[in-house]
Copies of this chain bind each other. A is one copy, B any other.
């Protein structure tokens, strides 16, 4: 089964509307893929094309209104939305602005637009200025409503994330099939994406990693064509997607044999991960979980934070840093992602996925043990 029951979307809209009432908002204007999908279930890879803007209006007390390019009409009609307004995009004279303006004036303001951390406005700035002027409405931020809602997952969402974590787990179990001394890292990356697809991923929006003696230089580089060497540490980190939800975790492997420093680093990363898991209780702050892990790793080598929220996007919501004091709530899905420097200029990073509950966190990825696996 794909997507969710209508009840899931209606509950999301109702929660948003009660928060909008508290903030005195007449409407939310949403423009990005996860924002539209969160309230409608509209799922397509067509967002890869930047040519057309897409809009969703969430009124204070009515069902959402979609104002979208006509190319999306059929797919939007398959969702629960009934008020779907389309134009023939792209239109160089008026790319949906007047249609959107009319709908917003009908709904009424103030209009809240996501404007805080991690948000962006997916429409041309010139059109946004035009829209604001023509609307004669009051405009403001969304008071963090959409980000706040998305941070706490429903049971149905958690099931999705657990499912895709399982897919990645089976792919990680098969890395010995594709990685060996002499195989180019770029080949390993291509083959690992193939394994993820074979194990059930719909697509693979994210794959990073690295390889080298006793670690890698960073964790965001694309693969080079350099072949793996005996004794290298290979790391693969994936955000695979199934039914619109991401996993985000990684595995380290030693190619042929493991250096002592790499083995020690891996054991320390697992120790830090377990400390993070133990600390990740409802009511504690993101910065407390960071502290529990940083006490073991000595800080933030690697990703610059020691974990983050996860769900409809590869990363979303809180950050495990010293500065983020977001309080953990049951239903938050997060990653634990400690990093250590092994030798100057080389790091190792480990990552797992969990969900916050009323008690001990539930593991969504099958946790790795302390021994660096040799393949």
Chain A positions within 8 Å of B, measured between CB atoms, are 2, 43-46, 48-51, 69-72, 74-75, 78, 88-93, 95, 113-126, 141, 186, 189-191, 193-194, 197-198, 200-208, 217-225, 239, 300, 303-305, 308, 313-316, 319, 321, 323-324
The verdict on A121 contacting B125 (CB below 8 Å), with A186-B202, A190-B197 known, is: yes
The verdict on A75 contacting B218 (CB below 8 Å), with A49-B315, A51-B315, A202-B186 known, is: yes
9 additional A-B pairs beyond A50-B118, A92-B324, beta carbons within 8 Å, are A45-B205, A46-B206, A50-B313, A51-B319, A71-B304, A88-B304, A119-B124, A193-B197, A203-B204
The verdict on A120 contacting B50 (CB below 8 Å), with A45-B208, A115-B125, A203-B207 known, is: yes
The verdict on A71 contacting B126 (CB below 8 Å), with A48-B314, A203-B204 known, is: no
Q: How often does this chain occur in the complex, in copies? A: 2
The chain B residue with its CB closest to the CB of A46 is B220
The verdict on A44 contacting B88 (CB below 8 Å), with A119-B124, A141-B125 known, is: no
Asked if residues B239 and A43 are in contact (CB atoms below 8 Å), the reply is no
Contacts of A190 in B (CB 8 A): 197-198, 200-202
Asked if residues B75 and A221 are in contact (CB atoms below 8 Å), the reply is yes
Asked if residues B50 and A90 are in contact (CB atoms below 8 Å), the reply is no
* Smallest beta-carbon distance A25→chain B, Å: 15
Asked if residues B219 and A304 are in contact (CB atoms below 8 Å), the reply is no
